Amino acid sequence: MTQSVAEPCLDDPSTTQPAPAPRRRTGARGARPGGRSERVVRAVMHAAAAELARAGYMALRIEDVAALAGVNKTTVYRRWPTKAELVKATLRSLVDGDGEAPDTGSLRLDLLELVRRIVAVASMPVGHGIYRVLLAELHLPEVEAFARACDDERFAPWREVLERAVARGELPPGSDLRLIIEMIRSPLALRLFQLREPVDDSVLQAVVDTVLFGAKNGGAVLRAASPGPPEPPATAAPAPRDPAHR
Amino acid sequence: MTQSVAEPCLDDPSTTQPAPAPRRRTGARGARPGGRSERVVRAVMHAAAAELARAGYMALRIEDVAALAGVNKTTVYRRWPTKAELVKATLRSLVDGDGEAPDTGSLRLDLLELVRRIVAVASMPVGHGIYRVLLAELHLPEVEAFARACDDERFAPWREVLERAVARGELPPGSDLRLIIEMIRSPLALRLFQLREPVDDSVLQAVVDTVLFGAKNGGAVLRAASPGPPEPPATAAPAPRDPAHR
């Protein structure tokens, strides 16, 4: 349901500096490209990203964002009635690909496209401040609720890609899709956002291939929890779901 | 080399409250079990864990730890001459199994033993405070250096277990062992320490099996980075290392 609150809206953040140009879905309802409306959206997104990185979620004030963006605060409220909506739009504006699920016909290529979006965000100067700030605030119920809400949106393209793969027979039914998503994202988030290390394409491929290979072979099908460690079929057949097997 | 600074000494922390009884290697050089010496070590470890969770690494003062433990600060300095040593010993004292590498003859069982140690630490009330505090300080060079030093020690049993598996032929040569470690640890750290969700044995097994299955089939052998996504052998043969394959 709710996923990696842990990397709060992690694909999205990126921080300390100018946010990238917002994409279409940024909340700019009906903004004409290049028009005044789009310029306003862009300015507000930039300002909100900078403020978020500086002040964090709890202390973020729409007034400050408006002032920094050089717009009237009612302009901000009109488009984004709540702080949560403004911040969500801001985080979304950092993500490439408009949050759409890729659909190449190959699960591997779809996943590579998704992980490359994360790398693209991490390569922006804006990322780590927002990440750190949100993570530090994650124990606050309001921030946690916000992060969980974000996750639902953020994981949607991942789920879509995986569900299609299950439907195509590329993944065994019963695979824990959330776990697959977390297994791919978290080692990359670790390096990109926590260790702040560059991650090249060979690492992306290794993570995707390792998890995908294991998942295709039933590794991510949860078996009934057993107290002891049954020496298992870590080799080829999908993990048994037979309740007798414990 | 340096690993998951990200979850700073993550297996170890656990927080806010009484640390568990320290194990033998805890720095209690020559302490007789049950003797005064061991009681002192135990009191200091408890106090240091509580102080670390409260104040973080930077603000931790050996004086405060000594006062809280009810011992003279020279007693603390005598055993742990620096703050880094004290904190390292404290984190180590939280880990089951004494930091020794398991050696069951099966890589899967060895890894399950190691991940269960992480779960054991996470189940202590002490964990998340230390985790959060260290993570929030990780951008400070002193804390980062400390965390990296910790990692070398912390990952040692993991490396040992994986190296033995390579030697036995259970893993293909050229596998990126650090990446394998991170792929197993980080999704679990995500749930245990960041999301604070319980992780049952079926999830542990799924993570270990998925990564292990992928790694055994060459998923964690890094290929030359290629700009485009070569549609790959995500099926059975070890990833090609042939430089012609890009």
Q: How many CB atoms lie within 10 A of CB A193?
A: 24
Is the pLDDT at A21 greater than 50? The verdict is: no
A164 in any annotated domain: yes
* pLDDT at res. B193: 81
A193 in any annotated domain: yes
Q: Which of A139-153, B48-62, B201-215 has the weakest average pLDDT?
A: A139-153
How many domains, chain A? 1
A126 in any annotated domain: yes
- Flag whether residue A211 sits within 8 Å of chain B, measured between CB atoms: yes
Band (B149; pLDDT cuts 50, 70, 90): confident
| Stretch 224-243 of chain B: residues touching chain A, C-beta under 8 Å | 224-227, 229, 231-232, 234-235, 239
* pLDDT at res. A25: 45
| Contact (Cβ atoms closer than 8 angstroms) between residue B71 and residue B65 | no
Report the residue from B106, B108, B239 with minimal CB separation from A209. Answer: B239
Place of tokens 């901000």: A76
Tell which residue, B97, B137, B143, B140, has the closest CA to residue B120: B97
Per-residue pLDDT tens digits for A188-232: 988 888 778 889 999 999 999 999 999 999 999 998 754 444 444
| Contact (Cβ atoms closer than 8 angstroms) between residue A208 and residue B211 | no
- Residue A183 distance to chain B (closest CA, Å): 5
The three-point CA angle B97-B179-B196 to 5° equals 60
What's the ipTM?
Answer: 0.74
Place of tokens 């900078």: A50
Q: For residue A131, give its domain range.
A: 36-216
Q: What is the mean pLDDT of residues A51-60?
A: 91
* pLDDT at res. B92: 82
Band (B44; pLDDT cuts 50, 70, 90): very high
Chain B residues with beta carbon closer than 8 angstroms to that of A227: 201
B141 in any annotated domain: yes
Beta bridge partners of A14: A127
- Flag whether residue B210 sits within 8 Å of chain A, measured between CB atoms: yes
CATH number at residue B60: 1.10.357.10
* pLDDT at res. B96: 59
Distance of CA A187 to the CA centre of its chain: 13
What three-state secondary structure class fits A221? Answer: strand
Band (B137; pLDDT cuts 50, 70, 90): confident
Distance of alpha carbon B196 from alpha carbon A183, whole angstroms = 16
Q: Do B220 and A210 touch (CB under 8 A)?
A: yes
Q: Which residues contact A92 (CB under 8 A, 6 or more apart)?
A: A12, A23, A25, A26, A27, A99, A153
* pLDDT at res. A97: 57
Q: Do A231 and B205 touch (CB under 8 A)?
A: no
Q: How many CB atoms lie within 10 A of CB B72?
A: 12
Chain B residues with beta carbon closer than 8 angstroms to that of A140: none
* pLDDT at res. A158: 95
CA distances from residue B224 to A163, B230, B244 in whole angstroms, order as listed: 30, 11, 9
* pLDDT at res. B140: 79
Per-residue pLDDT tens digits for A65-76: 999 999 999 999
Q: What is the mean pLDDT of residues A21-36?
A: 53
Question: Which residue type, as a one-letter code, is found at position A10?
Answer: L
| Stretch 40-99 of chain B: residues touching chain A, C-beta under 8 Å | none
CA distances from residue A187 to A33, A119, B35, B217, B244 in whole angstroms, order as listed: 37, 12, 43, 19, 28
- Residue B58 distance to chain A (closest CA, Å): 16
- Flag whether residue B182 sits within 8 Å of chain A, measured between CB atoms: yes
Q: What is the mean pLDDT of residues B241-246?
A: 36
- Residue A82 distance to chain B (closest CA, Å): 25
* pLDDT at res. A31: 53
Q: Cα dihedral sign for A41, A59, B135, B186?
A: negative
B30 in any annotated domain: no
In three-state form (DSSP H/G/I as H, E/B as E, the rest C), the secondary structure along B200-221 is CHHHHHHHHHHHHHHHHCCCCE
Q: Do B202 and A191 touch (CB under 8 A)?
A: no
Per-residue pLDDT tens digits for B176-203: 999 999 999 999 988 888 777 889 999 9
Report the residue from B112, B219, B225 with minimal CB separation from A201. Answer: B225
B200 in any annotated domain: yes
Is the pLDDT at B225 greater than 70? The verdict is: no
Higher pLDDT, A125 or A15: A125
Is the pLDDT at B6 greater than 50? The verdict is: no
Is the pLDDT at B87 greater than 70? The verdict is: yes
Is the pLDDT at B146 greater than 90? The verdict is: no
Q: Do B220 and A201 touch (CB under 8 A)?
A: no
Band (A24; pLDDT cuts 50, 70, 90): very low
* pLDDT at res. B165: 96
A166 in any annotated domain: yes
* pLDDT at res. A151: 78
* pLDDT at res. A171: 96
| Contact (Cβ atoms closer than 8 angstroms) between residue B69 and residue B46 | yes
B225 in any annotated domain: no
Report the residue from A109, A135, A200 with minimal CB separation from B229. Answer: A109
The percent of residues above 70 in pLDDT, for chain B, comes to 75
